[in-house]
Amino acid sequence: MNKSIKPAEANNLERCALCHRARPLCESHIIPELAFRPLYDAKHRFVELSTDEAVRNRFRQKGLREKLLCQEDETRLSRWENYAKKALHGGTELSITQDGPFLKTLDNEMKNQYLNYHVYQYERDITQ
């Protein structure tokens, strides 16, 4: 085998952006699908704008994707994205675990203030 070819390239595999293992990659969303929700029209399309005058704007029905993650990491992130979608758009309550050292130092009132501040910041950012 040619030593200049990495093992991942020899098997037509690429490196996962998250785990860095040589595996077949999925067409992963670059930006989570839930971020596109406000952009969709009634036919579940958004307009991809081009800054190049020679390239026409076009409709897309899914967010921007590229070969980025292996199936295992795609599945792992999908669970977090589904939770975030439900927490932000209704369907589940947002919960805070006490695993992190920062949250362990806060009493319940401070945790509520911390959470309310971040929810407020999110709502402010998406309405601007």
- Dump pLDDT digits (tens) for 30-84: 888 878 788 888 898 888 888 999 999 998 888 788 999 999 999 888 888 888 8
Angle at 70 between CA 66 and CA 73, to 5 degrees: 110
In whole angstroms, give the CA distance from residue 117 to residue 45: 32
Residue ranges of the domains in the chain? 8-92, 96-128
In whole angstroms, give the CA distance from residue 40 to residue 61: 8
- Strands (E) across the chain are located at 14-15, 22-23, 25-29, 46-48, 58-60, 65-70
Can you give the pTM of this predicted structure? 0.55
